Structure 1
Amino acid sequence: MSDAVIDKQQVAASFSRAAGTYDQVAELQRNVGSNLLGRLPDTVQFEALADIGCGTGYFTRALAQRFAKPVLGLDIAEGMLRYAREQSPSGLAWLAADAEALPLRSASQDLLFSSLALQWCPQLPLALNEAFRVLKPGGCMAFNTLVAGTLVELREAWQAVDGFVHVNRFMPLPQLQGILAGAGFASWHCEVEMHVLHYAQLSELTHELKALGAHNLNAGRPSGLTGRARLRALTTAYETRRQATGLPATYQVAQVLLFKGLDQV
């Protein structure tokens, strides 16, 4: 993604506003993050751990419980950090940070964990360069991210209404794989999970996206409020996709593990 596509300040502000509502609607986020947590190797002893894009601190706390170690939670959204600090035990530490410019010493971390955060980085290669820098030799970077095909139903329904960008764009899988291959790690693994959620009404999906802070953050989005006529047209277009279980919303989630070699500095 380019800087013209994602504005970090808007991302930080949007997720800060959503801090108080995020956990109420984050079932998918908890599921895919738990799947990533389950992919971590049991044979590696992690001593220094950081959760990048920690949000409300859900997985920061989960990491601390699993590995019985202090975990540093980092996020670009100050509102999320305040909420995480209030909801968490005193043994955890929190730091405002940009994944593309981590305020961490080189070769200082054994594990970097990041669940559904790096899709908001304008320059993913830069974030991975930073991860490589701060990992100790033998360290692991575990992250998941949304890829193209996510919210395809909503995108196609909007395309039937107007020419504006209403749905966040996500990186095509081949592009992600190319970035992973060029990131300099000794080895990497990438698997894609497809999750299809169902909603009784379109408004449930759009309200959920707003509560998550993950509504449209791309350039090319329409300014001002969306008129009732366009919303009616969107609803009509989306209803053509209705299934017996409701209106589908697809999420394509890439689960990634990156390993820094013991001989890499």
Structure 2
Amino acid sequence: MTTLALQRDTPLTTDWQARVARAFSRAAPRYDELATAQQRIGEGLWQALPTNASSVLDVGCGTGYWTQRLAERYPAARVIGVDIAPGMLDQARNRPTRVDWRQGDAGALPVESASIGLVFSSLALQWCTDMDAVMAEFSRVLAPGGRAVITTLLAGTLEEIAFAWQRPEALLAYKSAAHYGRAAESAGLDVVRQCEHRERYYYPDMRAVMASIKGVGAQVPRPSSSAALTRRDVEAAAARLETRRTPQGLPVSYRCLTLTLERPSTPE
């Protein structure tokens, strides 16, 4: 496997990457305040972490919430946080931690080959259009015997929002669990564990629902779409979503996939 020439940052090469980076940069100042669902989902991934790690890479690190916790969990480890959005990294660099922050895309990681013992990625890979490239990069940067623990989202995520908007092109097109598994195996990674589950959160009104999505940068439509929601669209969506109201409030669902992957040790 060839070694990537290490760069401090890697350039964004597509319009989609640039759109995602801008959306999350705009969301960065209030991200931690609004990312309640993302933090709760990430806690489940935390349980899959190994006891020890000498080097850790957080892919899609955002504001560094999980990266800082990883640095605290593995105090002797070298810890790198990579994110596509410069605004997120600006927030991350304000944290009192020893993390090495780098801008880059999951499909072209600014990290040396075979240098990482643990790759961590919480709710980031659903934004990547080329999963084969992402898994190839995970395989490249992992040392033999190294592991990747990942949580991402599957079809059925935000299904209430899809129903309310009635505009599928305005939502991200989520990949299947089989797609992630095939990409991992094609990259030479062993699938050690795979688990799917659903999380559901409740909000008092449409404003709160929209804040939970837009406020964490997740309002970018799929790459092939130029769809934008108008005020009339939002009002009609609010009326439709009200038909889904429960005693707990307006529901928003996330279908989550948790993966543990391993790069096989080099045969003797």
TM-score normalized by the length of structure 2: 0.88
SS at match of 2:28: coil
Of the three residues 117, 127, 135, the one matched with 1:120 is 127
Residue equivalent to 1:18: 27
| Matching residue's letter, 2:103 | A
Q: Distance in 1 between matches of 2:191 and 2:36?
A: 31
2:182 is aligned with 1:178: yes
Residue equivalent to 2:153: 146
Q: Distance in 2 between matches of 1:213 and 1:187?
A: 30
Residue equivalent to 1:110: 117
Residue equivalent to 1:46: 53
SS at match of 1:215: coil
SS at match of 1:50: strand
2:192 is aligned with 1:188: yes
Q: Distance in 1 between matches of 2:240 and 2:174?
A: 22
Q: Deviations over 1:133-185 (max 9, x none)?
A: 111000001111111000001102222xxx56222221123333333343311
How far did 1:31 drift?
1.5
1:164, 1:221 within 8 Å by CA — same for their partners in 2? no
2:165, 2:234 within 8 Å by CA — same for their partners in 1? no
| Matching residue's letter, 2:250 | L
Classify 1:24/1:264 alpha carbon distance in 2 versus 1 (closer, same or farther; 3 Å): farther
Residue equivalent to 1:236: 239
Residue equivalent to 1:217: 221
2:20, 2:220 within 8 Å by CA — same for their partners in 1? no
| Matching residue's letter, 1:258 | L
2:19, 2:220 within 8 Å by CA — same for their partners in 1? no
SS at match of 2:150: strand
SS at match of 2:170: coil
| Matching residue's letter, 1:243 | T
> How do 1:161-172 and structure 2 match up within 5 A?
163=167, 165-172=169-176
Q: Distance in 1 between matches of 2:112 and 2:181?
A: 27
Q: Distance in 2 between matches of 1:164 and 1:36?
A: 28
2:14 is aligned with 1:9: no
| Matching residue's letter, 1:23 | D
How far did 1:221 drift?
4.2
Of the three residues 15, 34, 46, the one matched with 1:37 is 46
TM-score normalized by the length of structure 1: 0.89
Classify 1:140/1:84 alpha carbon distance in 2 versus 1 (closer, same or farther; 3 Å): same
2:66 is aligned with 1:62: no
How far did 1:128 drift?
0.7
1:10, 1:217 within 8 Å by CA — same for their partners in 2? no
SS at match of 2:29: coil
Q: Deviations over 1:161-218 (max 9, x none)?
A: xx56222221123333333343311343211121001111111111221110111332
Classify 1:167/1:85 alpha carbon distance in 2 versus 1 (closer, same or farther; 3 Å): same
Of the three residues 159, 163, 177, the one matched with 1:156 is 163
Q: Deviations over 1:102-148 (max 9, x none)?
A: 12111111011111111111101111101101110000011111110
Where do 5+ consecutive residues of structure 2 fail to align? 1-13
Q: Deviations over 1:19-60 (max 9, x none)?
A: 101000111111222211211132xx3111111111000111
Q: RMSD of the alignment, in Å?
A: 1.9
SS at match of 2:89: helix
Q: Distance in 2 between matches of 1:18 and 1:212?
A: 5
Of the three residues 210, 234, 249, the one matched with 2:252 is 249
How far did 1:264 drift?
6.4
